[in-house]
């Protein structure tokens, strides 16, 4: 079996908030373009990256943007039908996800992402009222210099009066 490494792409505000009432609390077109570029990548012909999301995230995507193009859309849910329209696959658990990604069909069509094993976290440098939060990264995650990554927007950006930057973390293994 090929090693499966999972990476994360997320955006959070100062209080680690990522959503409110099933929607993003901010509108940052350039940051969303970064997400699209990073999650789509540059796979070889016949392959795509997979985007795995929870049901609430899936439900929050407007119908006109479902499925996210040029990516396999995999939804993790205990309640959605396994043959949900627009989703390439629905899985019930993390174990089901690993089993799905390990099968030959998916191994031959999913591109190995250049972001394996890392957390690409957009820090929205503002306070927003949120009802959903990204889990805080503990001391096992090491902040990496972004200048090591050509594909990551460098420095602080500003849109609609809101500043944001991308940070890259990697979980380090105890010695």
pLDDT grade for 174, boundaries at 50, 70 and 90: low
pTM of the model: 0.75
The token duo for 92 is 């019930």
19 vs 131: CA distance, rounded Å: 6
Mean pLDDT of the 83-96 span = 86
Non-local (6+) Cβ contacts of 135 within 8 A are: 16
Q: What pLDDT, in 10s, does the model give residues 105-134? A: 887 788 765 545 788 899 999 999 998 888
**Which listed residue (28, 31, 97, 101) is catalytic?**
31
Q: 3 pLDDT band (50/70/90 cuts)?
A: low
Query: 31 catalytic, yes or no?
Result: yes
Complete domains list, the chain, with CATH = 8-41+117-175 (3.40.430.10), 43-112 (3.40.430.10)
pLDDT at residue 62 greater than cutoff 70? yes
In this structure, is the dihedral angle defined by the CA atoms of residues 11, 13, 15 and 19, taken in order, positive or negative?
Answer: negative
Mean pLDDT (the chain) is: 85
Residue 144 is a catalytic residue: no
pLDDT the model gives residue 112: 64
Binned at pLDDT 50, 70 and 90, residue 1 comes out as very low
Element at 94 (helix H, strand E): helix 94-102
What is the model's pLDDT at position 144? 93
The number of beta carbons lying within 10 Å of the beta carbon of residue 116 is 12
| Mean pLDDT across 78-92 | 86
- Confidence class for position 154, pLDDT limits 50, 70, 90: very high
């Amino acid at each position: 079996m090929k090693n499966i490494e999972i990476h994360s792409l997320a955006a959070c505000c100062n209080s680690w908030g990522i959503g409110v009432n099933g929607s993003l609390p901010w509108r940052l077109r350039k940051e969303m373009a970064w997400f699209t570029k990073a999650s789509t990548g540059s796979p070889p012909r016949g392959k795509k990256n997979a985007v795995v999301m929870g049901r609430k995230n899936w439900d929050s995507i407007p119908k006109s943007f479902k499925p996210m193009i040029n990516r396999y859309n995999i939804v993790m849910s205990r309640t959605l039908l396994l043959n949900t329209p627009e989703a390439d696959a629905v899985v019930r658990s993390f174990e089901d996800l690993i089993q799905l990604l390990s099968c030959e069909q998916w191994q031959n069509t999913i591109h190995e992402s250049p972001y394996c094993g890392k957390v690409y976290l957009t820090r929205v440098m503002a306070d927003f009222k949120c009802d959903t939060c990204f889990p805080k990264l503990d001391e096992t995650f090491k902040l990496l210099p972004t200048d090591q990554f050509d594909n990551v927007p460098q420095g602080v950006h500003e849109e609609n009066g809101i500043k944001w930057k991308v940070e890259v973390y990697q979980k380090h293994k105890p010695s």
